A and B are shown apart, each in its own frame.
Chain A
């Protein structure tokens, strides 16, 4: 009984597979099956994104002691749907002097990688579209393509704020990709595999306990890649209006917006998979365990977003190159050393790694401060040097 519940989706999938191949020619059944699964995936992503948008707007209102959207539907639940309808009925504008083709292509090129990432994410035992043996590398590679779409959008808009937002986006995303990739290497070394399915199965103990430093680096770098608020310099409203998508409206803006939240969802799943044990949770079936973890991770992002103020550009770059990068290298070095000494990765190493991570983070935050250059021309007093 329990096995039937846990393996519900693979069983249904196999039944559908047999049914379709039963009376259709091979290629048609193949295409149809792919189409059905893509529709299922899209619908579930869109629904989760709507939930995320509602959660974010209401949650942040809570943090800021105000009500937030509460008019449309009970507790404002239908607000994201109303927004979606509004966006789709808006006029689609390409600015004069902008590059029309690139302007269109940018929205697509941002959205498609956000969807492609879901192909390798394991949702439950056996429920994964493609268990690539390079899973996590695939995710990183696909994730690095989205930045081109951002740049194309900023350039094609023929607007200096868009271009500035795009420039910031590239500087930020290229910088944070480096510590993000390096922090994943620790997990890969412990799990001895790049496949996400294997990484989940390797987690007797969630890797957040074995790789606390890796988790911290990955989470910080990923929220920079997502351009969420402590690091949302590329759309900083008070400085450059909305960054690279100022000149977008209607469905094309909706694609940018969707891609942003689809990426947030993907990062929540990746963090759950790499560090929190994926669909594994004692006494809880996988279909409940993974959503619980996803919403916990997203809640943490919300919390950080509503707590921290936005970083300055130099602080942001300094945090990536002088803060995260050296710790990421140190993490690889420590993990490799432990693997070499113990010929494996016993669970009690968590007791060593957690204090070690805390110690490293503390020492690093003491050693490393950003110097503020006092400029003669600036009239306002220089802000005091802050630890990063």
Chain B
């Protein structure tokens, strides 16, 4: 670590420790409801990490989508399962799962450390919300629209599946 620890890098390390700690707690906690709450914590700290990178649009969207919608859906799902107070029972697959997860973690670390990360020399846009909008709706409008059509198809598919057959 560099000797000159300023406020930003200090907050980065605090947030990083909390994020990783919360993520570990999600897996390690027996109580599945508390695990979901730890997951929310890690979502929020990731949003805070975005804030320290002055990506406030991304941070707000992270909170809105992950903490506000996805986490709530997860908790809703937990509520609808039986025996949620007992937590997840330990299955026979825990050791194979550990092996696979370790392998994935190893591969990801290897890739992240091994690849060359290009740093853009362009100056930061003054208002990065405008920059994101410009990129999404002018520069990459076709992929953006394709993704939205895909999502729409998924939504309609989900509705059709849930409706079931009606006589």
Confirm or deny: B23 has a beta carbon within 8 angstroms of a beta carbon on chain A: no
Whether B72 lies near A163 (C-beta < 8 A) is no
In the bound complex, what is the Cα–Cα distance between A128 and B110 (angstroms)?
Answer: 47
Confirm or deny: A296 has a beta carbon within 8 angstroms of a beta carbon on chain B: no
Whether B40 lies near A141 (C-beta < 8 A) is no
Chain A residues in 8 Å Cβ range of B72: 144, 147-148, 151, 170, 174
In the bound complex, what is the Cα–Cα distance between A174 and B68 (angstroms)?
Answer: 8
Confirm or deny: A338 has a beta carbon within 8 angstroms of a beta carbon on chain B: no
**Residue ID in chain B nearest A158 by CB atoms:** B85
Tell me the chain B residues, 33-69 only, with Cβ under 8 Å from chain A: 33-34, 37, 40, 44, 56-57, 60-61, 63-64, 67-69
Confirm or deny: B117 has a beta carbon within 8 angstroms of a beta carbon on chain A: no
Query: Max chain A CB contacts within 10 Å: which of B44, B67, B68, B76?
Result: B68
Confirm or deny: A132 has a beta carbon within 8 angstroms of a beta carbon on chain B: yes
Chain A residues in 8 Å Cβ range of B129: 133-134, 194
Whether A99 lies near B33 (C-beta < 8 A) is yes
Whether B64 lies near A144 (C-beta < 8 A) is yes
Confirm or deny: A177 has a beta carbon within 8 angstroms of a beta carbon on chain B: yes
* A99-B33, A133-B127, A134-B129 given; A148·B60 CB < 8 A: no
Contact of A148 among B34, B56, B67, B79 (CB under 8 A): B67
Confirm or deny: B18 has a beta carbon within 8 angstroms of a beta carbon on chain A: no
Contact of B63 among A99, A145, A163 (CB under 8 A): A145
Confirm or deny: A155 has a beta carbon within 8 angstroms of a beta carbon on chain B: yes
Confirm or deny: B25 has a beta carbon within 8 angstroms of a beta carbon on chain A: no
**Residue ID in chain A nearest B79 by CB atoms:** A167
User: What size tier do the contact residues of chain B reach?
Assistant: 20 to 34
In the bound complex, what is the Cα–Cα distance between A58 and B30 (angstroms)?
Answer: 49
**Residue ID in chain A nearest B64 by CB atoms:** A141
User: What size tier do the contact residues of chain A reach?
Assistant: 20 to 34
In the bound complex, what is the Cα–Cα distance between A135 and B33 (angstroms)?
Answer: 32
Rounded to whole Å, the gap between the CB of B36 and the closest CB of chain A is 9
Chain A residues in 8 Å Cβ range of B56: 132-134, 138
Confirm or deny: A152 has a beta carbon within 8 angstroms of a beta carbon on chain B: yes
Chain A residues in 8 Å Cβ range of B16: none
Chain B residues in 8 Å Cβ range of A174: 69, 72-73
In the bound complex, what is the Cα–Cα distance between A166 and B80 (angstroms)?
Answer: 12
**Residue ID in chain A nearest B40 by CB atoms:** A148
Confirm or deny: A102 has a beta carbon within 8 angstroms of a beta carbon on chain B: yes
Rounded to whole Å, the gap between the CB of B24 and the closest CB of chain A is 18
Interface of B is mostly: helix
Confirm or deny: A78 has a beta carbon within 8 angstroms of a beta carbon on chain B: no
Chain B residues in 8 Å Cβ range of A99: 31, 33-34
In the bound complex, what is the Cα–Cα distance between A138 and B50 (angstroms)?
Answer: 14
* A102-B37, A177-B68, A194-B129 given; A155·B79 CB < 8 A: yes
In the bound complex, what is the Cα–Cα distance between A194 and B64 (angstroms)?
Answer: 15
Rounded to whole Å, the gap between the CB of B58 and the closest CB of chain A is 10
Confirm or deny: A55 has a beta carbon within 8 angstroms of a beta carbon on chain B: no
Contact of B33 among A138, A155, A171 (CB under 8 A): A155
How would residues 71 to 96 of chain B score, 1 for a CB under 8 Å from any chain A CB and 0 otherwise? 11101100100000000000000000
How would residues 122 to 148 of chain B score, 1 for a CB under 8 Å from any chain A CB and 0 otherwise? 000001010000000000000000000
Tell me the chain A residues, 129-172 only, with Cβ under 8 Å from chain B: 132-134, 137-138, 140-142, 144-145, 147-148, 151-152, 155, 163, 166-167, 170-171
Contact of A170 among B33, B40, B57, B75 (CB under 8 A): B75
Whether A144 lies near B33 (C-beta < 8 A) is no
In the bound complex, what is the Cα–Cα distance between A144 and B73 (angstroms)?
Answer: 12
Whether A141 lies near B33 (C-beta < 8 A) is no
Whether A144 lies near B69 (C-beta < 8 A) is yes
Rounded to whole Å, the gap between the CB of A228 and the closest CB of chain B is 20
* A147-B68, A170-B76 given; A152·B37 CB < 8 A: yes
In the bound complex, what is the Cα–Cα distance between A132 and B18 (angstroms)?
Answer: 26
In the bound complex, what is the Cα–Cα distance between A314 and B56 (angstroms)?
Answer: 37
Rounded to whole Å, the gap between the CB of A231 and the closest CB of chain B is 18
Whether A141 lies near B57 (C-beta < 8 A) is no
Whether A144 lies near B127 (C-beta < 8 A) is no
* For the complex of A and B, 8 pairs with smallest distance between CB atoms: A144-B68, A141-B64, A141-B63, A141-B60, A137-B60, A134-B60, A138-B60, A134-B56
Query: Can you add 5 more A-B contacts, CB < 8 Å, to A134-B57, A148-B67, A170-B76?
Result: A141-B68, A145-B63, A147-B68, A151-B72, A170-B75
What would be 21 A-B contacts, judged by CB atoms less than 8 Å apart? A102-B37, A105-B37, A133-B127, A134-B60, A137-B57, A137-B64, A138-B60, A141-B60, A144-B63, A144-B67, A144-B69, A145-B44, A147-B68, A148-B67, A148-B68, A148-B72, A152-B37, A155-B33, A163-B79, A166-B79, A174-B72
Chain A interface residues toward B at CB < 8 A: 99, 102, 105, 132-134, 137-138, 140-142, 144-145, 147-148, 151-152, 155, 163, 166-167, 170-171, 174, 177, 194
